[in-house]
Structure 1
Amino acid sequence: FRTMAIHRPSVLIGHVIGSVVQSVLSVVLVGAVAVAIGFRSTDATALEWAAALALLVLFTLALTWIAVGMGLVSPNAEAASNNAMPLIFLPLISSTFVPVDAMPGWFQPIAEYQPFTPAIETLRGLLLGTGIGHNGWLAVAWCLALTALGYLWSKASFNRDPK
């Protein structure tokens, strides 16, 4: 790919788009199963459902770019598959299962100031009718920042000279 007459970032962009589409299809399938087994959004409008899906797509895009960057700096395939493992723990130290206010005082800043908490609180607000507050803007800001960081990291790693 390095010697072909193609736009260099298109290799990465194509991979990311394919991964995001696959992830969105998985989210839609899980959402359909949730509705089939009884999940009901109390007051969510079609616009709120669309906003929730858009946030999930944006969040998926951000994490995919970060994962691509991690994969490109990995020395081999085994390391690439394991480098993203720390990302699995971020939802566990967010407000996914326990409200931030119910966490120990020393742990609250860790849970509050990471990307998953504002995204989760925004999704809850959109689909369950709880307040969103400033979490919507924070979630979008986190997604855009992580997307830009992941893209720039991936592009720099892809463009470096092979050894």
Structure 2
Amino acid sequence: MTGEFAAFVGLALVAVTGGVLMLNVTKVVHMVVSLIFTFVSIAGLYVLLSAEFIAAVQVLIYSGAVTIIMLFGIMLTKHQDEEEKPVGRWRKVLTGGSIAVFAFLVYKGIYQLDLGQTAQAPLHVKNTEQIGMALFTKHLIPFELTSVLLLAALIGAIVLAKKEEEDN
């Protein structure tokens, strides 16, 4: 067993465990912490794939910004204090069985995958430059449309926040 394989298995277990915990814990802050574990371990998997730029973006955007925005959104909204029913035994068994079936199907799918490549593509060669070239040549229009959509969402959030202030 190589060190790379051991790191992959460890990071994959942390990612899956974080996802399962996020679905099964009841407190919102615990859900966010398990989500952060999942995001950071996925960033570690990107590092193993020699995609350091994507790993850095994963940590900065998802582990940082998105998680904080989700936490603020949950904390600032009004909640009704309702008693939650305890999770039943059958739900836990069904969840575990579903995870096992999904893992088996992914395992079978990966080992039966035929990519049809005869020559290996060069890895570890200017990954960030290749992403930038693809983003600003082939995918320029979707990139710009995404930035306009995000700007419209930001303006909409400001307008909604101002209306709530005026109503009070």
Give the number of the structure whose residues are more often helix, by fraction.
2
Which entry has the higher C-alpha Rg, 1 or 2? 2
Fold agreement, TM-score > 0.5: no
Q: Which has the higher contact order (CA 8 A, sep 6+)?
A: 1
